[in-house]
Amino acid sequence: MWKGIIGNMKIHFNQLDRGYYKYKNEYDRAAIAALESGWYTLGKKCEKFEEEFASYIGSRYCVGLNSGLDALILAMRALNIGAGDEVIVPANTYIASVLGITENGATPVFVEPDKYYNLDADKIEEKITPRTKAILVVHLYGQAANIQKIKDIADHHKLYLVEDCAQSHGARFKGIMTGKWGDIGCFSYYPTKNIGAFGDGGSIVTDDQELFEKIKMMRNYGSKVKYHNEMLGVNSRLDEIQASLLSVRLKHYNEMREQREKLARKYLEHIKNSQVILPAIRAGAEHVWHLFVVKIEKGNRGAFQEYLSEHGISTQLHYPIPPHLSEAYRYLGHKKGAFPKTEHYAETLVSLPLYTGMTDQEIEYVIEVINRFTGKTIED
Ligand SMILES: *Cc1c(COP(=O)(O)O)cnc(C)c1O
């Protein structure tokens, strides 16, 4: 192991400036070129990024939007999902996945996770009713869900399949990119995401020309031609500065991805502590390590976080309150205990620092501190 580095290093959960400085000259040039162009929304830079991103995913079309949440809302709306419809969604997810459904007046039907923390394909069919319109799958923490099986279920029951890829840019299942499996793939470029803008951003990808044209209209007040509003639209545009910065990000994504992989491998190979349960990877699935999530059993998570914090290491929870127990969704009437696996994960999972530009010394320090965690028992 590494020698005596335990002390008081400061390890932030994320350090977004490291990602900027890594390619500073290119970001600076891209932003200035956008400023100097005199054209700031829905121009050539957005179009260029849309083409690049569609080609990266292997999809025919991409539409740049204002956020990942807008991508989810507009995807559901474009599929005519609304009041009276039900959408299957994982109970273990970020609330934005669920908001994409309820913003359209549809009802989310929660399904428990598997041991990879993703939607459990074996528990979907029992939740399908005559009102079910779609399955919204989330590739959580960066790992592709059991998407082949989920797609087969969607096809068999003639349901739409929508993918929330906000955490899974570039993760493949059996060689096919997440975002390419469903009718629509939804992406976020929020700054902390694997491909992040320097502000808000999102997109949808699809192979369906009609859906593409519909969502393209929707993002710009429902019009193709100015002042000719064919449908009720919104304002959800990916601006030219963000789009040109995203082109730089995408160009270097393979390097950034490899670095995340290297860091994750270090955690996987060197964390040796029986109290810390490491993430498992499904056969056939790729993990792009948006988050490195470990499980701390026996009510020890608080002590673990406190101990790391005392050693200068920040951690985060993804997510402490599952959507079905949030105040916002109280009206759905789910009580504590309704989704025990999800609730158990909400009480035991914790995310470790992992970001572009994290140094070997930093991650080795985190590992050494973790390996010395002795925990406390329930009796304490
Ligand atoms: C971040 C995220 C979103 C929302 O993306 P925004 O760009 O922040 O609106 C949706 N779903 C998941 C799983 C996310 O992690």
Contact call for residues 244 and 33 (beta carbons, < 8 A): yes
Portions of the chain given CATH number 3.90.1150.10: 254-371
Residue identifier of the C-alpha nearest atom 6 of ligand 1: 68
pLDDT attached to residue 375: 83
Nearest-atom number in ligand 1 for the CA of 188 is: 7
Q: Does domain 21-251 have CATH number 3.30.420.40?
A: no
Rg (CA), the chain: 21
What is this structure's pTM? 0.96
**Cβ of 92 below 6 Å from ligand 1:** no
Enumerate residues 6+ apart whose C-beta is below 8 A from 366. Answer: 11, 267, 308, 313, 352, 353
Measured in angstroms, how far is the CA atom of residue 59 from the centroid of ligand 1? 20
**Cβ of 67 below 6 Å from ligand 1:** yes
Per-residue confidence band for 101, with pLDDT thresholds at 50, 70 and 90 = very high
pLDDT more than 90, % of the chain: 94
**217/236 Cα distance (integer angstroms):** 10
**Cβ of 162 below 6 Å from ligand 1:** no
Measured in angstroms, how far is the CA atom of residue 166 from the centroid of ligand 1? 5
pLDDT attached to residue 380: 41
Q: Does domain 254-371 have CATH number 3.90.1150.10?
A: yes
pLDDT attached to residue 297: 86
125-145 pLDDT, tens digit per residue, is 999 999 999 999 999 999 999
Nearest-atom number in ligand 1 for the CA of 200 is: 7
pLDDT at 2 over 80: no
pLDDT more than 70, % of the chain: 97
pLDDT at 379 over 50: no
42-73 pLDDT, tens digit per residue, is 999 999 999 999 999 999 999 999 999 999 99
- Higher-pLDDT residue of 90 and 8 is 90
**361/273 Cα distance (integer angstroms):** 20
Per-residue confidence band for 5, with pLDDT thresholds at 50, 70 and 90 = low
Per-residue confidence band for 118, with pLDDT thresholds at 50, 70 and 90 = very high
Residue identifier of the C-alpha nearest atom 14 of ligand 1: 166
**Cβ of 94 below 6 Å from ligand 1:** yes
pLDDT attached to residue 137: 98
297-341 pLDDT, tens digit per residue, is 878 999 999 999 999 999 999 999 999 999 999 999 999 999 999
Per-residue confidence band for 1, with pLDDT thresholds at 50, 70 and 90 = very low
User: What is the token pair recorded at 54?
Assistant: 């569609």
pLDDT attached to residue 270: 98
Write down the mean pLDDT value for the chain: 96
Per-residue confidence band for 6, with pLDDT thresholds at 50, 70 and 90 = low
SS3 helix, strand, coil % of the chain, rounded to 5? Answer: 40, 20, 40
Contact call for residues 144 and 173 (beta carbons, < 8 A): yes
Measured in angstroms, how far is the CA atom of residue 350 from the centroid of ligand 1? 18
340-371 pLDDT, tens digit per residue, is 999 999 999 999 999 999 999 999 999 999 99
Beta-bridge partner residues of 349: 295
